[in-house]
């Protein structure tokens, strides 16, 4: 007892140190702060280069990004708001639920993402969640595999323009499709979602004019987000390239660093690799990964969702990294078993194409041919909904004027 009393007296006599503040910083915040600091230094030290690449990014948005993505964003919003997502989900519900564990309503986002490319699939999935047709868990699951590069980008820009091999572009698109569906199957087998019935949207009964104006407005806001990321990462990659060209890290290392941030710059640098097999393998890896610019575009579309519904970034980033590795694996196997894919168009062709690689994709013809079909489908669905609404109103008026006898 006496010993413990002495200990307490000594500890009481010691001066206490008062902490002015307590700062708890996670490892993710430290990494984000370091990355932000590096980006600021790059942009400030090479502001002239950043301005040039910002202008190029704005030109890319005006000539390629907006014409090829904005119509599909509007139409995807119309399909969801008019009930087209539920109609399409009823047709694809049984196989998709059995294979990938997603509801019938989620089929609309999956098909739009696999056909039209990113970020149309993510925009459709977020619209389904906002309209109450899918829950937050299914939204997080869909974002992991419903976004791949568009067929026009892979076939025309990468296959024909960069490598002079249309077959390679077609196979690259098939590899991205296969890897995306394989990830969906693995997620369903390893971490299946709890069974949920298809929900009914609350806004299907809205008028055609209000549905159309809301679709255009929502697509315009999402398009602004996409263009903002394109311009920022164009400036960042441009200033980064000015520094990296003075280092001796090899063309493959430059392509990997460019592709980590932005897809188009990465594949342009990958096409300039002298080893044709390595160039195609690196291109497949970068197309599966898609770049941080695309990932931030997709995650920014989820802004405004409730905290319990908004998806987490870690599962999405992990799945995209896995998709990049799967694309590289499948591409390596095909390059080994299909000798015709090894044919390279030459270093002179690659170097000349790198300077003006995306001048041929000002209009993505493959995707734009789907616009009349989607417009017709959306118009028929809205017309059907309007006719059904008119019939319900007439029936309600008739019941009010002539109530049934008891």
**C-alpha neighbours within 13 Å on the C-beta side of residue 345:** 21
Residue 335: band (very low, low, confident or very high) from pLDDT cuts 50, 70, 90? confident
Domain ranges of the chain: 54-194+207-379
pLDDT given at position 208: 63
User: What global pTM score does this model have?
Assistant: 0.71
Structure tokens at 297: 């575009």
Does residue 399 register a pLDDT over 60?
yes
Say which DSSP state 134 is in.
S
> What digits encode the pLDDT tens for the residues 353-367?
433 344 333 334 444
Give the C-alpha separation, 163 to 145, whole Å: 27
pLDDT for 337 beyond 70: yes
CB 168, CB 280: distance < 8 Å: yes
CB atoms closer than 10 angstroms to residue 213: 11
More confident residue, 232 or 246: 232
Give me 359's structure tokens: 């001048």
Answer whether 267's CB lies under 8 Å from 153's CB. Answer: no
pLDDT, averaged across the chain: 75
* Residue 19 scores a pLDDT above 60: no
pLDDT at position 345 is 47
Q: CA 100, CA 93: separation in Å to the nearest integer?
A: 10
Could you tell me what percent of the chain has a pLDDT over 70?
71
Note the pLDDT of residue 352. 40
Q: What is the pLDDT of residues 119-132, one digit of tens each?
A: 888 888 888 888 78
Residues sharing a CB contact under 8 Å with residue 276, sequence separation 6 or more, in sequence order: 342, 343, 344
Nearest to residue 296, comparing CAs of 122, 145, 80, 179? 122
* pLDDT tens readout for residues 76-114: 778 777 766 667 767 777 788 888 888 878 888 888 888
Task: Give the three-class secondary structure for 219.
Answer: helix
Helical pair 47-60 and 27-45, crossing angle rounded to 10 deg: 100
* C-beta atoms surrounding 187 within 10 Å: 19
Residue linked to tokens 């579309």 = 301
| 154-158, 245-249, 284-288, range with greatest mean pLDDT | 284-288
- Residue bearing tokens 């014409």: 67
How far are the Cα atoms of 19, 21, 174, 256, 352 from residue 269, in angstroms, in the given order? 52, 48, 22, 8, 12
């Amino acid at each position: 007892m006496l010993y413990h009393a002495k200990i307490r007296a000594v500890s009481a006599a010691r001066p206490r140190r008062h902490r002015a503040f307590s700062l708890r910083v996670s490892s993710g915040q430290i990494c984000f702060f370091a990355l932000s600091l590096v980006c600021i230094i790059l942009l400030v030290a090479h502001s002239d280069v950043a301005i040039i690449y910002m202008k190029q990014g704005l030109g890319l948005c005006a000539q390629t990004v907006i014409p090829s993505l904005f119509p599909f964003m509007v139409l995807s919003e119309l399909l969801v708001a008019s009930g087209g997502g539920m109609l399409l989900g009823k047709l694809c519900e049984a196989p998709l639920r059995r294979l990938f564990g997603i509801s019938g309503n989620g089929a609309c986002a999956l098909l739009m993402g696999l056909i039209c490319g990113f970020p149309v699939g993510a925009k459709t999935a977020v619209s389904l969640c906002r309209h109450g047709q899918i829950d937050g868990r299914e939204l997080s699951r869909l974002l992991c595999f419903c976004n791949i590069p568009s067929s026009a980008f892979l076939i025309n820009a990468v296959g024909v323009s960069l490598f002079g091999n249309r077959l390679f572009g077609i196979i690259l698109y098939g590899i991205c499709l296969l890897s995306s569906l394989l990830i969906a199957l693995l997620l369903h087998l390893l971490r299946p979602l709890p069974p949920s019935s298809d929900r009914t949207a609350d806004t299907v009964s809205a008028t055609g004019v209000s549905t159309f104006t809301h679709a255009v407005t929502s697509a315009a806001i999402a398009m602004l987000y996409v263009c903002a990321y394109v311009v920022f990462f164009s400036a960042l990659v441009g200033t980064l390239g000015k520094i990296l060209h003075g280092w001796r890290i090899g063309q493959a290392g430059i392509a990997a660093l460019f592709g980590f941030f932005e897809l188009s710059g990465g594949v342009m640098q990958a096409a300039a690799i002298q080893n044709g097999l390595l160039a195609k393998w690196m291109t497949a890896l970068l197309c599966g990964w898609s770049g941080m610019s695309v990932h931030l575009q997709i995650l920014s579309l989820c802004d405004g969702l409730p905290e319990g519904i908004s998806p987490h970034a870690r599962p999405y980033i992990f799945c995209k990294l896995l998709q990049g590795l799967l694309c590289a694996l499948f591409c390596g196997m095909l390059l080994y078993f299909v000798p015709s894919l090894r044919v390279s168009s030459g270093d002179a062709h690659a170097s000349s194409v790198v300077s003006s690689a995306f001048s041929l994709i000002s209009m993505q013809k493959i995707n734009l041919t789907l616009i009349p079909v989607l417009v017709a489908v959306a118009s028929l669905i809205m017309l059907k909904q309007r006719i059904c609404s008119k019939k319900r109103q007439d029936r309600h008026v008739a019941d009010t004027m002539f109530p049934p006898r008891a």
